[in-house]
Amino acid sequence: MLKQGALIYQARCASCHGVKLEGQANWRERGPDGRLPAPPHDETGHTWHHPDDVLIQLTKEGVAKAAGLPDYVSNMPAFGDSLSDADIVAVLSWIKSQWPSEIRAQHDELNRQASQRSQR
């Protein structure tokens, strides 16, 4: 799964999010077009601040739909029509495999908490 995720990431994500998950420069500042640059997916970004279900939804549906902000404009495409759920999980699994162990542990705890909330 990780090998497949790495291949898909390099083909579909790296051009914006960086070969080494580094994201685009000044990713917290809107560009002249009003859009935010692609954030890093390494430990310096905020990807690991979101539970898996949110990451899957963002990747599958795009930011505007996933966030419930129909007027939000982003360069991030929705991949639901071009990547299967298994492909999306593979990419996210590969990204997470690149994080330091302490960041993975924090993300695992975030997923555990999100799971508990959804079961209530």
CATH of domain 2-119: 1.10.760.10
Say which range, 34-38, 77-81, 87-91, 113-117, has the weakest mean pLDDT: 113-117
Spell out the domain ranges in the chain. 2-119
Answer yes or no: is pLDDT of 113 > 80: yes
- Give this prediction's pTM: 0.93
20-56 pLDDT per residue, tens: 999 999 999 999 999 999 999 999 999 999 999 999 9
- Return the closest-CA partner of residue 33 out of 43, 42, 24, 45: 24
110-118: which pairs have CB atoms within 8 A and are 24 or more residues apart? 110/48, 110/49, 110/50, 110/51, 111/51, 111/52, 113/51, 114/51, 114/52, 114/53, 114/54, 118/53
